[in-house]
């Protein structure tokens, strides 16, 4: 259909926008610009045979999580041939990029080009988008290079290593008029979308009041375990508050909107050490945090975690409203899970399974194919599909870099509150006006 629209352009649209018309000039110019933009986008994407080209994607950082992204693009390729083509793999450890490229060849018959640095890749490969799955400190460095070279990006969570790094990505996307998407997989899955629907649309819990997400267990320190970039704050940006925590903070915003203030303590009780190149070095991650998060909507919540709890452990995640609660049955980072249930004032219990079925049935065909194309329900497949489809159709992604910035700003508000010894205003953190904790990380990366 798009091909038809493009080929009809000169017959229908051109005379319309060129001929004198009665509309105000500014409106007319705006319309001309918009129509020409759309037509240029699609004509640029036409192959010699008049077909729309597959979206040409590179993966930068071919490690653990990127493997999930690779499988996702291959799943999309199989469900919708011609939608996406993996044309380049890049990792500073070249063998990893090569292994990914071989996997692509096994499935598609075509081996993507292999690179060990982003600059060479950008100078060589013809790309529509790059999917960035590096260590956190390299998110903004790679994203900005791509955007400045006219390549759209999707960046794994947390968007940038700090708030400033995230702003730098957003600014580069705006300056180059390109997409910067957040690779947030958790909230796209059926039970999370259902939780949002039952709380905000169906209002099953009544007025939303409070939540508690708490974990306690014991992890004995092991100085013989291997160092990893996550354990260095300048590379990781923080510990689990902002690693897996970036998912939960995104889910909290999805369910309750933006926070107003955050008060938190963050500690390392055990003296955590690991082995790096034969030397014992510090593991800089926290092992404990207690955060009170106040939302603009009036919801108040407690998010706590400790891996320094000897003798008794527990895990408890529950959301309360004026009519009942949603009791989760999983960890404090990735829910609400399929095993959750709603318990109402009248004592009735409603399984997440039955609520997912009700939510799915409530969706129109358009909503279903937008939220769960090809009936995909895996969050990584859905985020990759959304990125590719946004590029193909010249539209914003569902979750842009601003969404990533706002989620990670809850994590940063927790660190900043601890560093300042007082509650912090969330919007001040989002704006980058509070940077006691983040200052050394920003300095390390020249931000």
435 binds ligand NAD, rule: CB under 6 A? no
Q: Contacting ligand NAD (CB under 6 A), which of 42, 45, 54, 61?
A: 61
CA 429, CA 412: separation in Å to the nearest integer? 7
Best CA proximity match to 394, nearest among 40, 120, 20, 150:
40
140 binds ligand NAD, rule: CB under 6 A? no
> Residue 147 — φ and ψ, nearest 5°?
-60, -40
56 binds ligand NAD, rule: CB under 6 A? no
* Residues between 278 and 297 with contacts to ligand NAD, criterion CB under 6 A: none
Candidate ranges 85-93, 173-181, 208-216, 355-363; the one touching ligand NAD (CB under 6 A): 85-93
65 binds ligand NAD, rule: CB under 6 A? yes
Best CA proximity match to 410, nearest among 427, 394, 391:
427
Specify the residue, 135 or 194, whose C-beta has the smaller distance to ligand NAD: 135
Which residues is 9 bridged to in the sheet? none
Question: How far apart are CB 126 and ligand NAD at their closest, in Å?
Answer: 19
DSSP character for 224? Answer: T
Candidate ranges 9-17, 71-79, 88-96, 291-299; the one touching ligand NAD (CB under 6 A): 88-96
Decide: 116 and 43 in contact? Cβ < 8 Å.
Answer: no
Question: How far apart are CB 379 and ligand NAD at their closest, in Å?
Answer: 8
Decide: 325 and 342 in contact? Cβ < 8 Å.
Answer: yes
Strand ranges (E), 307-407: 314-321, 324-327, 341-344, 349-351
CA 101, CA 110: separation in Å to the nearest integer? 9
Q: Which residue is nearest to ligand NAD (CB)?
A: 63
Pattern 197-236, binding to ligand NAD, x per CB under 6 A?
----------------------------------------
C-alpha count within 13 angstroms, C-beta hemisphere, residue 67: 4
Pattern 164-203, binding to ligand NAD, x per CB under 6 A?
---------------------x------------------
CA 439, CA 280: separation in Å to the nearest integer? 26
In the complex, which residues of this chain contact ligand NAD (CB under 6 A)?
60-66, 90-93, 96, 118, 133-136, 138, 142, 156-157, 185, 243
């Amino acid at each position: 259909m798009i091909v038809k629209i493009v080929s009809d352009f000169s017959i229908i649209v051109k005379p319309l926008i060129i001929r004198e018309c009665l509309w105000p000039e500014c409106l007319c110019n705006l319309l001309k610009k918009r129509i020409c933009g759309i037509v240029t986008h699609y004509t640029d994407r036409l192959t010699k045979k008049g077909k729309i080209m597959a979206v040409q994607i590179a993966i930068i950082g071919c490690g653990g999580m990127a493997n999930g992204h690779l499988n996702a693009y291959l799943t999309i390729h199989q469900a919708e041939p011609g939608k996406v083509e993996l044309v380049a793999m890049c990792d500073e450890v070249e063998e990893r990029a090569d292994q990914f490229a071989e996997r692509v060849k096994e499935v598609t018959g075509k081996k993507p080009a292999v690179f060990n640095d982003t600059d060479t890749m950008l100078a060589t490969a013809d790309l529509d988008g790059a999917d960035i799955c590096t260590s956190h400190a390299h998110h903004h460095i790679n994203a900005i290079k791509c955007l400045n070279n006219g390549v759209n990006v999707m960046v794994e969570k947390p968007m940038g290593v700090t708030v400033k790094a995230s702003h730098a990505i957003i600014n580069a996307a705006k300056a180059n008029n390109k997409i910067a998407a957040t690779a947030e997989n958790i909230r796209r899955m059926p039970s999370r979308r259902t939780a949002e629907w039952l709380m905000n649309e169906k209002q099953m819990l009544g007025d939303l009041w409070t939540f508690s997400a708490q974990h306690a267990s014991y992890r004995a320190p092991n100085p013989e375990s291997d160092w990893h970039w996550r354990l260095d704050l300048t590379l990781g940006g923080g510990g689990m508050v902002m690693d897996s925590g970036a998912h939960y903070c995104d889910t909290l915003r999805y369910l309750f909107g933006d926070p107003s203030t955050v008060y938190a303590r963050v500690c390392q009780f055990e003296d955590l050490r690991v082995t790096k190149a034969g030397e014992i070095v510090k593991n800089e991650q926290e092992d404990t945090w207690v955060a009170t998060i106040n939302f603009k909507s009036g919801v108040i919540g407690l998010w706590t975690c400790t891996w320094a709890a000897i003798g008794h452990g527990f895990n408890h995640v529950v959301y309360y409203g004026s009519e009942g609660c949603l009791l989760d049955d999983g960890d404090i980072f990735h829910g609400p899970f399929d095993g959750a249930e709603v318990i109402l004032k009248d004592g009735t219990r409603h399984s997440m399974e039955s609520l997912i079925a009700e939510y799915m049935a409530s969706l129109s065909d358009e909503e279903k194919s937008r939220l769960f194309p090809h009936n995909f329900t895996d969050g990584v497949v859905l985020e990759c599909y959304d990125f590719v489809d946004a590029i193909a159709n010249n539209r914003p992604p569902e979750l842009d870099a601003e969404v990533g910035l706002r989620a990670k700003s809850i994590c940063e508000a927790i660190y900043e509150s601890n560093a300042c010894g007082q509650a912090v205003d969330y919007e001040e953190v989002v704006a980058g006006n509070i940077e006691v904790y983040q200052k050394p990380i920003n300095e390390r990366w020249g931000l």
